[in-house]
Amino acid sequence: MNIILFGPPGAGKGTQAQFIVKKHNYFQLSTGQLLRNETKQKTALGKEIEKLISNGKFVSDEIVDSLLKQSITNLKFRDRIIFDGYPRNVEQAINLEKILSEFDQNIGRIIFLNVARDIIEKRIMGRMTCEKCNMILNAFFNKSEIELHPCGKEYLVKRIDDNLETIIERYDTYINTTKPVLDFYLKNENFYTIDGNAEIEEITSKINKILTV
Ligand code: AMP
């Protein structure tokens, strides 16, 4: 079954998706990561995407939807996708249902990680992502893991959009544009809310339970 991890920026969607990938053999479809990969190409499109991301703005639905479709139509990932960072507005939520049903798939779990604003800020300000393996660590909470990171700590970098100014912009966009997606899913029988303020391990164990009911 496909899964949506939903929540504000810094809620821990990427971190939890990585655990699900390992434990349940899933594919993490992070639209943010796909877009960051595009920026590395240094094409005109890559540069446009980089500008939007670094200003905390959304990339157009047209671009994001085309990246998304490439993964949904890949038979290797059939019914094993974790949507991380998608949908981010109501139009995307409608589009996702449309594409999935076209390819005879659906969404088996929608998990909302509900996190307070002040916690988000600390998580994002400390976030370090490995350029080699994409592992996410936190400079405040994972000091020893950073020192011992298998790829080497020089590969752990801060994202261009993880600064205070951009966080404010991204959080406002979340409240105004992304949060309304909750209404779209609230009545879905596969919708679950988790207290995302808790410790990582506690959240992982709650997600594991939800995936096995
Ligand atoms: P994330 O890695 O999910 O925090 O996303 C980083 C940035 O990529 C966002 O702040 C947006 O600029 C862009 N982005 C990611 N997913 C989407 C999406 N579904 N729609 C529009 N923009 C997106």
Give the pTM: 0.94
Residue 49 lies in a domain: yes
What are the pLDDT digits (tens) for 95-123?
A: 999 999 999 999 999 999 999 999 999 99
CA distance 131 to 197: 26
Span from the CA of 213 to the centroid of ligand 1 (angstroms): 30
pLDDT at 63: 94
Pocket of ligand 1 (CB under 6 A): 9, 30-32, 35, 52-53, 56-59, 64, 85-86, 88, 92, 161, 170
Task: Give the number of domains in the chain.
Answer: 1
CA–CA gap between residue 12 and residue 130 (Å, rounded): 16
Say yes or no to pLDDT of 42 above 90: no
Range of the domain at 46: 2-116+176-200
Helices 117-126 and 164-173, axial angle in degrees (round to 10): 130
Q: What is the CATH number of the domain that holds 10?
A: 3.40.50.300
Q: Quick one: DSSP state of residue 73?
A: T
Establish if 157 belongs to a structural domain. Answer: no
- Closest C-alpha to ligand 1, atom 11: 58
Task: Confirm whether 80 is domain-assigned.
Answer: yes
| Helix, strand, or coil (residue 164) | helix
Residue 10 Cα, ligand 1 centroid: separation in angstroms?
Answer: 12
